């Protein structure tokens, strides 16, 4: 009888060991793997959502249509929109000038929202690259009523610099040697590229920009 009890006990212990070993070596269940995948997906979505709220997005112009009151391309002697220019504080820090070279538009954004759209003309494209440098810059203290480049036989009025050496500027449509505006070049405003690297604006827009945009305002220039 004792022998039988010992045999049965041995069998039970052995069977338990086999079950324990099987559990220890078995892979994780599909449910566990699915839970891990779900957590990863949720984390990825959370990261994407978090990214959408970063300050860097202020540099990205989301799909945007021209305002209804934007004047037609080529209008160089009037402000680009029929409404008044925005009021800006000299110490305002939440502004960005966003230039689309291929779109021939310059947007003024406040806290990432477009508050004014300007017809503009950037650098000519050569071998797929614009003569206007793309990137992020800031408005400099350099400003002036007019200039004339004898090497290019071209000048402009109302200039505001966005490069430390005052080489790259926002300014009016170009002027000739006698000070008159170049009608052929002015007609390109808002239509196509034509400058040697600067950003051309209408005469009133360039004057308003020169008089009102604060030093240090971010300037973001992109192809699209």
Give the number of other CB atoms < 10 A from CB of residue 5.
9
Give the residue numbers spanning the domain of 217: 57-222
25 is catalytic: no
What is the model's pTM? 0.73
From the candidates 85, 196, 198, 224, which is the catalytic residue? Answer: 198
Rg of the Cα trace of the chain? 32
Contact by Cβ (8 Å): 101, 222: yes
Positive or negative torsion for Cα 34, 35, 36, 38? positive
- 121 in any annotated domain: yes
Among 25, 51, 85, 171, the one annotated catalytic: 171
Q: What is the CATH number of the domain that holds 158?
A: 2.40.440.10
Question: Which pLDDT band, with edges at 50, 70 and 90, does 49 fall under?
Answer: very low
Q: Is residue 36 part of a domain?
A: no
Query: Quick check: is 79 in a domain?
Result: yes
The reported pLDDT for the residue numbered 59 is 53
Is the pLDDT at 53 greater than 70, yes or no? no
Is 51 labeled as catalytic in the residue annotation?
A: no
Domain membership flag for residue 95: yes
In a domain, 185, yes or no: yes
Please report whether residue 41 resides in a domain: no
Note whether 190 and 201 are within 8 A (CB): no
Structural domain total, the chain:
1
Kindly provide the residue ranges of all beta strands, DSSP E only, lying in the chain, ordered along the sequence.
95-100, 105-110, 113-121, 125-126, 129-130, 135-138, 143-149, 154-161, 169-172, 199-201, 218-222
* 78 part of a folded domain: yes
Burial class (CB in 10 A: 0-12, 13-18, 19+), 163: middle
Q: Check if the beta carbon of residue 66 is closer than 8 Å to that of residue 118.
A: no
**56-114 confidence digits (pLDDT tens):** 445 556 667 899 999 999 999 999 999 999 999 999 999 999 999 999 999 999 999 99
pLDDT tens digits, one per residue of 113-158: 999 999 999 999 999 999 999 999 999 999 999 999 999 999 999 9
Residue 107 belongs to a domain: yes
């Amino acid at each position: 009888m004792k022998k039988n009890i010992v045999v049965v006990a041995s069998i039970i212990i052995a069977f338990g060991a086999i079950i324990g070993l099987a559990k220890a070596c078995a892979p994780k269940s599909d449910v566990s793997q699915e839970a891990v995948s779900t957590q990863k997906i949720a984390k990825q979505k959370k990261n994407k959502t978090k990214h959408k709220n970063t300050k860097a997005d202020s540099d990205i112009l989301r799909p945007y249509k021209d305002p209804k009151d934007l004047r037609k391309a080529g209008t160089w002697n009037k402000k680009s929109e029929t409404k008044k220019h925005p009021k800006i504080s000299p110490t305002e820090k939440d502004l960005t000038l966003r230039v689309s070279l291929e779109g021939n538009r310059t947007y003024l954004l406040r806290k990432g929202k477009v508050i004014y759209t300007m017809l503009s003309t950037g650098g000519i494209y050569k071998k797929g690259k614009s003569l206007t440098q793309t990137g992020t810059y800031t408005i400099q203290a350099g400003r002036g009523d007019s200039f004339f480049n004898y090497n290019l036989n071209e000048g402009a009025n109302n200039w505001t610099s966005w490069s430390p050496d005052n080489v790259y500027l926002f300014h009016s449509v170009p002027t000739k040697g006698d000070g008159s505006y170049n009608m052929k070049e002015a007609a390109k405003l808002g239509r196509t590229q034509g400058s040697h690297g600067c950003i051309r604006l209408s005469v009133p827009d360039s004057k308003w920009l020169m008089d009102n945009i604060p030093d240090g305002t971010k300037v973001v220039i992109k192809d699209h």
